């Protein structure tokens, strides 16, 4: 199912001007969406309605001055390959728990993962 979601994102996001990142650990997914306000809101609403997703929560919504993932249609990070000490910088335990940290801390984690090349696929 993950491959299907990524393929759909990589196929559809460029036409909408949407870039982003998907971080997966077990059954926890964190996704960053960047683009125009209307396009991001429409995509978020489609994700919420999609039966493949459960317990969708908005962690943060910010106006940004520049894209952090502008070269990505949808990058993917698999945290099972990441050093646990990286997770401990942002969360209480070495596991992905976006409800255990601020949205800013979670975004910082994703930025660090990009900087450290912990990316499985760029999907450009």
Confirm whether 9 is domain-assigned.
Answer: yes
CB 124 within 8 A of CB 73: yes
Residue 120: per-residue pLDDT: 59
Confirm whether 37 is domain-assigned.
Answer: yes
Confirm whether 123 is domain-assigned.
Answer: no
Domain count, the chain: 1
Which DSSP symbol is given to 117? T
Range of the domain at 65: 2-115
Confirm whether 72 is domain-assigned.
Answer: yes
Confirm whether 120 is domain-assigned.
Answer: no
Residue-wise pLDDT tens digits, 25-35: 778 888 899 99
Confirm whether 122 is domain-assigned.
Answer: no
Query: CA distances (Å), 87 to each of 33, 100, 108, 110, in order?
Result: 21, 11, 11, 10
Confirm whether 121 is domain-assigned.
Answer: no
Residue 45: per-residue pLDDT: 96
pLDDT surpassing 70 at residue 74 = no
Residue-wise pLDDT tens digits, 85-124: 988 999 998 888 888 889 999 989 888 888 876 665 544 4
pTM value? Answer: 0.81
Confirm whether 105 is domain-assigned.
Answer: yes
């Amino acid at each position: 199912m993950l491959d299907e979601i990524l393929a759909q994102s990589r196929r559809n996001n460029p036409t909408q001007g949407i870039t982003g990142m998907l971080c997966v650990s077990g059954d926890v997914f964190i996704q960053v969406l960047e683009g125009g306000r209307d396009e991001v809101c429409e995509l978020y609403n489609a994700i919420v309605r999609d039966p493949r997703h459960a317990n969708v929560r908005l962690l943060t919504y910010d106006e940004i001055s520049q894209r952090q993932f502008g070269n990505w249609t949808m990058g993917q990070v698999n945290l099972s390959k990441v050093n646990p000490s990286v997770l401990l910088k942002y969360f209480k335990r070495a596991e992905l728990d976006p409800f255990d940290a601020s949205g800013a801390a979670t975004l910082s984690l994703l930025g660090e993962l990009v900087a450290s090349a912990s990316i499985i696929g760029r999907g450009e």
